[in-house]
Structure 1
């Protein structure tokens, strides 16, 4: 088992990565809780819920709720329903919430934990590769019809327990989705570990040791940034590399049409192009494009309104004034925050989408 400790100004917690950790959850509890309330989804429940219940029930009263799988569950209605269930189950301030699932569950359960009786402890148990990103750093949220994660807060877990065995049951789309975030981490870190990732082939069976290594590396990059800037006032924004267009595509197409990582992959390509134009430099655009192509990332988008995408990019939580705030690369491993006029951005985005669909 590998462990990374995340220390921020407000607290610290461990991220543990290993095989079979779902059978040892009680070993990670630092105190005794009045009750444990597990929040999971309809994909994960039949696979792992029983294992987690068994690992904690000898010392704790356990209740659980299962929400429908998919981004649609990160809604105010489901949030409120879970609150009702938690209250009715007798959960109190000395209880613990366990988020068992992918990023959607981590965000939703984390937001429930943050706001239930003004905050109870919670543990992240990610079951997807993508959640290596979302389970670390303490950002929790639900979606609003106007945009992703607009209702949320910073609320760190007391622990992150990452059982890599759970990654063998995720579909190929989820593997692809998660690796897009690992690729993102590889490009904003010094030194970049993109070269190493370039040889990763997602089409075959994943090797546990390599997976553990890639996840660790991704989490280390994120941890370092989060430790310096927990509340996203400055360099934590680097983690949004590829996300300005990515989030806009997700929202414009309707959540779930593209996975988060698939949208981010397209966003990474666009961020590469904008960086090249803005700084007059050359980045390994072709290599990234080829890697995404080889690993079957979807590039074909329906006809989209550029004006609407630009509007969404401005509405993204990070936007200021009539400019779009975007994370660019001065070179591989050297990210920067730039504001770009939306008229220039419109031209660049039109070119990019035209090119993408003609490839």
Structure 2
């Protein structure tokens, strides 16, 4: 599933393959990859490329990426969007389209998503829509994007009534996870990314959960070897899931563990008030409590998951929006069917499923965790 080759001294570059037939691609994980021309060899060449980034990441990395892409494209343009979940919307998306149209970009133009999950989702959606589809490459610069949102081809923007409700499944040509980009990541963003790392343990790999418990101090200290292992294992699990269920017809929904409650928190507070990973961390506490109340896992198991999230420094109590508001928001979640909310629950450590839950129990979970 993964292979290694030498890169920066001390850290090998690993490759995780996403097997989707003619839409297959590789995830590269290493240090110093973003600025190496070799990283982008084998990708589509074109006269024009557009780097889509934001006002925070752009000044740090756009020039480095542009220099690395000179051999692939005759001209490399860039557009900087505002930074924040609240800008994952139509106006920001239209800024990308306007840039492409003003520069007369053709259908061979390659888009490069340079930033976190918001930039990755919007760039992918822009690539899916522009001239009905142009190639794009993910260059995620946050931990959350490297372990989750850049992998698997989910692209979207938000709507005031629901998160990620307008989008498309559209796979990138490659994902480039450069550990060096995490050096400039604010600590709050690092913790938010760790929420998406933690989720893979309860849903798919109990041994990985134990590894996270033992190595959380190293991850919080940004130990590169520990981060690389966490990113690689997360990508391997997601690659396995996406390879079986690209468009979330069944199995892939388990990757949304904690997200039903988490998306309600984000929408209820207003996008950007809590980071996505913070809301997901709290959502996993709620989902674990729900799993326990449904008789699927023990109180000790639920407490173990909650303790790891709390040790990470993530919130474990949600905002007091009221049960009615939580339920109203969760009813427009993408996993809901005919208004019935369906939750990702833990059946046992390393195994998850999706099912509805009685309204009274859901209300008890909300009351106990807000």
Paired position in structure 1 for 2:67: 54
1:286 positional shift: 2.3
Structure 2 stretches lacking a partner, 5+ long: 1-12
What does 1:220-235 align with in structure 2 at a 5 Å threshold?
220-235=236-251
The equivalent position to 1:184 in structure 2, one of 199, 212, 220, is 199
2:99 pairs with 1:82: no
Q: How many residues align?
A: 353
2:51 pairs with 1:38: yes
Distance 1:117 1:327 in 2: 36
Paired position in structure 2 for 1:286: 303
Paired position in structure 1 for 2:354: 337
The equivalent position to 2:155 in structure 1, one of 133, 140, 146, is 140
Paired position in structure 2 for 1:116: 130
Distance 2:277 2:297 in 1: 26
What does 1:1-359 align with in structure 2 at a 5 Å threshold?
1-9=13-21, 11-25=23-37, 27-30=39-42, 31-60=44-73, 61-131=75-145, 132-199=147-214, 200-201=216-217, 204-282=220-298, 283-299=300-316, 301-353=318-370
1:26 positional shift: 5.3
Distance 1:202 1:293 in 2: 16
Per mean C-alpha deviation after superposition, the further-off stretch among 121-130 and 308-317 is 308-317
Per mean C-alpha deviation after superposition, the further-off stretch among 313-322 and 344-353 is 344-353
State TM-score, norm by structure 1: 0.94
Per mean C-alpha deviation after superposition, the further-off stretch among 338-347 and 62-71 is 338-347
Structure 1 stretches lacking a partner, 5+ long: 354-359
Distance 1:21 1:310 in 2: 43
Paired position in structure 2 for 1:356: none
Distance 2:218 2:55 in 1: 25
DSSP 3-state at the match of 1:177:
helix
Change (3 A) 1:326 1:58: same
Per mean C-alpha deviation after superposition, the further-off stretch among 128-137 and 27-36 is 27-36
CA RMSD of aligned residues (A): 1.6
